[in-house]
Amino acid sequence: MLLLTLGLSAGGIVAIVIAVVLLLALIAIVFGVLPIRIWFRALVSGVKISMARLIGMKWRGIKVIPLVDAYISAKKAGLDISIDELESHVLARGDVIKVVNALISAHSANMELSAETARAIDLAGRDVLNAVKVSVNPKVIETPAISAIAKDGIELRVKARVTVRANITRLIGGAGEDTIIARIGEGIVTTVGSSESHKDVLENPDAISKTVLNKGLDSGTAYEILSIDIADIDVGRNIGAQLQMDQAEADKRIAEAKAEERRAMAVALEQEMKAKTQEMRALVIEAESQVPKAMAEALKSGKLGVMDYYNMQNVMADTNMRNAIGGNDQDNQSSDKKNKGNK
């Protein structure tokens, strides 16, 4: 109604509405396409980034807001780093936030860490920010219980606490915590194994620390060992006695096996002797069976007379009678002895 009162026709009103809608749409498109808010944030922060660069970042699929925030933080911290370096790091799938924070921490602690080194460490898969923190504030690594055996056969379980500091220059290609723990375990096993008695280790646990530190076990790693402290030493099993018991048990089983082998051989020999005895008896019986045939042949041929045969029979009967009498006398004597013993 107000527009009508101003003398505008209906067509003019429609044209004005369309123009307003198009203007609003154009403003929305401009703000949607152009990173005006990000550009304005950088401008008020004292960091100059051209609109064309921001548009190019957006078209290349770069997350503009984290990159610009990291660039603003770096400039505010006084770092000499360019937006091109950060952009290339993001395109290489690096974590630009961690890199910038690591550079800021190193700069605040007066540590020498270049942007190229920080980016290389991040792209190598290392946590560059944590490395800077560990370099400033040393880290304590606690090893698990490591078992070692002294020369007297006693087992010792040792726990150690290792204070390490990150070595920024050796982060690329340097070994990690697992290597440190493995080398500490090697030093513990070497020290305890070379001791004549486990009591020597219990009396001087610092000997383990000295052995490990003298070997330079941190060489080739991303850390520098500052100190090694023995946290705990527990006495375990008597491995030497256990081995002797196992050896004795094994010797016993071997002896039993050999004895069983000898018994089996003896049983086999006994059975063989019994078989031979039966064989000899069979031969004797076979020989005895030839005697009547020979006597009959002798009687038939006249070489043996009938009276000779009867005399031989009488002698055999007399011999059997004497044997029987002698056997009865022995039985009577043995029975008399038994009766006297019972009395």
What is the per-residue pLDDT across 35-44, written as a single tens digit (0 to 9) for each? 667 766 766 6
Name the band, by pLDDT with cuts 50, 70 and 90, for residue 24: low
Element at 234 (helix H, strand E): strand 223-238
What is the DSSP annotation of 275-289?
Answer: HHHHHHHHHHHHHHH
What is the per-residue pLDDT across 279-334, written as a single tens digit (0 to 9) for each? 888 888 888 788 777 777 877 777 777 777 777 778 878 888 888 887 655 555 55
CB 183 within 8 A of CB 225: no
Residue 218's Cβ-count burial label (10 Å; 0-12, 13-18, 19+) is buried
Percent of the chain clearing pLDDT 70 (strictly above): 80
| Strand, coil or helix: 154 | strand
| Pairing relationship of beta strands 139-142 and 154-166 according to DSSP bridges | antiparallel
Percent of the chain clearing pLDDT 90 (strictly above): 0
Cα 65 versus chain centre, distance: 46
What is the per-residue pLDDT across 59-69, written as a single tens digit (0 to 9) for each? 776 777 777 77
Interval 67-74 mean pLDDT: 79
Residue 187: pLDDT over 50: yes
**What whole-number distance in Å separates Cα of residue 10 and Cα of residue 15?**
9
* CATH superfamily entry for domain 139-241: Band 7 domain (3.30.479.30)
Delimit the domains of the chain by residue range. Answer: 34-136, 139-241, 302-332
CA 115 to each of CA 101, 102, 161: distance values in angstroms, whole numbers, following the listed order: 11, 9, 33
Q: By C-alpha distance, which of 195, 229, 188, 232 is closest to 211?
A: 188
| Alpha-helix residue ranges (DSSP H) falling in 166-205 | 177-193, 198-203
Between the two ends of the chain, the Cα-to-Cα distance in Å is 158
Tokens standing for residue 60 = 């290349």
Name the band, by pLDDT with cuts 50, 70 and 90, for residue 34: low
Q: By C-alpha distance, which of 109, 43, 53, 113 is closest to 83?
A: 53
**What whole-number distance in Å separates Cα of residue 112 and Cα of residue 159?**
35
| Residue for token pair 């020290």 | 191
Element at 300 (helix H, strand E): helix 239-301
**What whole-number distance in Å separates Cα of residue 19 and Cα of residue 13?**
10
What is the DSSP annotation of 113-170?
Answer: --HHHHHHHHHTT--HHHHHHHHHS-EEEEPPPEEEE-TTSEEEEEEEEEEEEE-GGG
